[in-house]
């Protein structure tokens, strides 16, 4: 099996890397970690600077990155480990020496903006604590204890026929977390009337909401669910991004005024006429159904922007119990680099969009840039307002997801490498492809139970997702 993955890696390097072999093996990141040297990252950064000054010559960016590498070897030695800052200094120097002054200035501006953004994140962390470090540590410890904290560990579990046990253990952990959340809600008595399950795209809000409803029902609580996706405006009225794509991720794509009107009416015991939204046609039908909330019932809803202030601006905060859900997976590559949570969710959404939203996986990769932008602007800043945090990452899902989506990532790498307008898609696709490449895949998804959260995305769920 190892030989198969070695051949795949060799083929990938041949296809993706530029001509020439580097003696540089490692670089030092700003936080002090050693990571593999990748000339293509330098070329991509140069290319993005070029694009900003209306130059779109990827071959030139590749050639300049090779000059940068040679200069690093001459200045630092072929066996050295240059820092990110040292590499960036050399890039600026080579650009100026080559007469690419406009690109050099654009690169300097980009570098400065990234430094300022890092500084803002560091400062905001002290104030808002948006990163749930305690929870992340708990997830990492669980993964280590179950041997699934790395790609190599997952491969060993698959090879030793322990994958079924990992599925059961992972689902049990998730179910126990939902049960704890339900106990938190019941412990508040009649104080909370609105239960919100919020979180970024493809974090598993729908299944979590339904499972939470089951737990609340077992505790003797009655509830009704309000589907927030039905409050999307018609697609033609959605905000658009800079490429003209309709943006489902913005809170302004939702009819916030109607949401507040209906929430207020329900809490007052009045009947509302609910809309229905069709994702395949992009059309909303008003007054399609009716709903009334009795005094003894809870209102249960899931929403991408459930923590967004304007979503519930007319509802007293004391009446709301807020749950935030995220794929807080802790999986390392052989090089020690952790998978990004958003990449996990991207793979889920690629499948879901194809099944339910009439969108192809390649389009999901290309459009993910505004998903992330909206998350960073309209979701992540409100994590601290949540009353409970749920981890929806399932360590066993990645081998299943790989079987379904892996082929799209090398295709995206080839398609977007020289596309000036989709460099984000190129970088993302390359990163995910390299993560998934050495991971063994699971083609037989029958091992996934029909009540698994993963079924929300791959199909076959016993819940109506």
- pLDDT category at 2 given cuts 50, 70, 90 is very low
Task: Determine which of 14-23, 152-161, 435-444 has the lowest per-residue pLDDT on average.
Answer: 14-23
Q: CA 199 to CA 205: how far, in whole Å? A: 7
Range in 21-25, 194-198, 412-416 the model is least confident about: 21-25
More confident residue, 77 or 48: 48
Among 24, 46, 144, 33, residue whose Cα is nearest residue 100: 46
Average pLDDT on 195-209 reads 94
Q: pLDDT class for 11, splitting at 50, 70, 90? A: very low
Return the closest-CA partner of residue 93 out of 73, 115, 64.
Answer: 64
Over residues 107-118, the pLDDT tens digits come to 998 888 877 766
pLDDT tens-digit series, residues 284-340: 999 999 999 998 899 998 898 999 989 999 899 899 999 999 999 999 998 888 999
First to last CA, the chain: 37
Report the alpha-carbon distance of residue 34 to residue 394 in Å, rounded. 28
Higher pLDDT, 263 or 29: 263
Question: What's the whole-model pTM score?
Answer: 0.78
Question: pLDDT-derived band of residue 9, with 50, 70 and 90 as boundaries?
Answer: very low
Mean pLDDT score across all residues of the chain: 87
Residue 359: band (very low, low, confident or very high) from pLDDT cuts 50, 70, 90:
confident
Question: Kind and range of the H or E element at 84?
Answer: helix 84-97
Token pair recorded at residue 107 = 């690169």
Which residues, other chains included, contact 336 with Cβ-Cβ below 8 Å and sequence gap of 6+? 33, 35
Q: Cβ distance 325 to 209 under 8 Å?
A: no
Mean pLDDT value across residues 256-273: 96
Q: What is the per-residue pLDDT for 42? A: 93
Determine contact, residues 269/294, Cβ cutoff 8 Å.
yes
Residue 281 pLDDT > 70: yes
Predicted pLDDT at 82: 87
Do residues 279 and 238 lie in contact, with contact meaning Cβ atoms separated by under 8 Å? Answer: no
Question: Is the confidence at residue 120, as pLDDT, over 60?
Answer: no
Q: Cα–Cα distance between 397 and 454 in angstroms, integer?
A: 7
Share of the chain above pLDDT 90, in %: 63
In sequence order, what are the residues at sequence separation of 6 or more whose Cβ sits closer than 8 angstroms to the Cβ of residue 1? 155, 159, 440
What does R_g of the chain's alpha carbons equal in angstroms? 24
The pLDDT value recorded for residue 239 is: 67
Mean of the pLDDT values across residues 122-150?
74
- Report which of 339, 371, 343 is spatially closest to residue 357, judged by C-alpha positions: 371
Average pLDDT over residues 183-197: 86
């Amino acid at each position: 099996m190892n030989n198969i993955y070695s051949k795949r890696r060799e083929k990938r390097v041949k296809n993706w890397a530029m001509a020439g072999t580097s003696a540089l093996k490692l670089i030092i990141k700003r936080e002090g970690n050693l990571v593999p040297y990748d000339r293509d990252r330098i070329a991509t950064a140069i290319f993005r600077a070029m694009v900003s000054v209306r130059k779109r010559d990827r071959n030139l960016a590749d050639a300049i990155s090779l000059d940068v590498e040679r200069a690093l070897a001459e200045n630092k030695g072929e066996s050295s480990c240059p820092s990110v800052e040292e590499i960036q200094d050399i890039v600026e120097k080579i650009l100026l020496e080559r007469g690419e002054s406009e690109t050099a200035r654009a690169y300097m501006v980009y570098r400065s903006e990234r430094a300022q953004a890092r500084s803002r994140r560091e400062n905001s962390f002290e104030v808002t604590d948006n990163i749930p470090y305690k929870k992340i540590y708990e997830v990492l410890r669980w993964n280590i204890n179950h041997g699934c904290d790395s790609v190599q560990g997952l491969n060993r579990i698959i090879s030793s026929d322990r994958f079924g046990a990992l599925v059961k253990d992972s689902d049990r952990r998730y179910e126990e977390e939902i049960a704890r959340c339900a106990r938190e809600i019941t412990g508040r008595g009649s104080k909370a009337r609105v239960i919100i399950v919020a979180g970024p795209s493809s974090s598993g809000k729908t299944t979590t909401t339904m499972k939470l409803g089951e737990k609340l029902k077992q505790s003797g609580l009655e509830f009704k669910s309000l589907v927030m996706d039905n409050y999307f405006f018609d697609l033609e009225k959605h905000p658009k991004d800079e490429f003209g794509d309709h943006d489902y991720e913005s809170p302004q794509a939702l009819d916030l005024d109607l949401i507040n009107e209906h929430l207020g009416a329900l809490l007052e015991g009045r009947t509302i006429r609910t809309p229905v939204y069709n994702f395949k046609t992009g059309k909303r039908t008003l007054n399609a159904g009716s709903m009334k909330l009795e005094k003894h019932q809870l209102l249960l809803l899931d929403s991408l922007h459930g923590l967004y202030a304007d979503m519930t601006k007319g509802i007293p905060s004391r009446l709301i119990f807020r749950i935030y859900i995220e794929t807080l997976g802790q999986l390392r590559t052989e090089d020690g680099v952790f998978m990004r949570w958003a990449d996990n969710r991207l793979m889920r959404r690629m499948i879901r969009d194809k099944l339910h939203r009439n969108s192809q996986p390649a389009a999901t990769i290309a459009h993910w840039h505004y998903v992330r932008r909206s998350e960073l602007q309209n979701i992540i800043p409100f994590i601290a307002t949540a009353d409970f945090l749920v981890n929806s990452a399932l360590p066993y899902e990645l081998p299943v997801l790989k079987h379904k989506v892996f082929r799209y990532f090398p295709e995206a790498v080839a398609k977007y490498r020289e596309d000036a307008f989709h460099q984000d898609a190129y970088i993302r696709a390359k990163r995910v492809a390299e993560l998934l490449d050495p991971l063994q895949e699971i083609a037989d998804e029958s091992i996934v139970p029909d009540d698994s959260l993963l079924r929300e995305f791959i199909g076959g769920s016993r819940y109506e997702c």
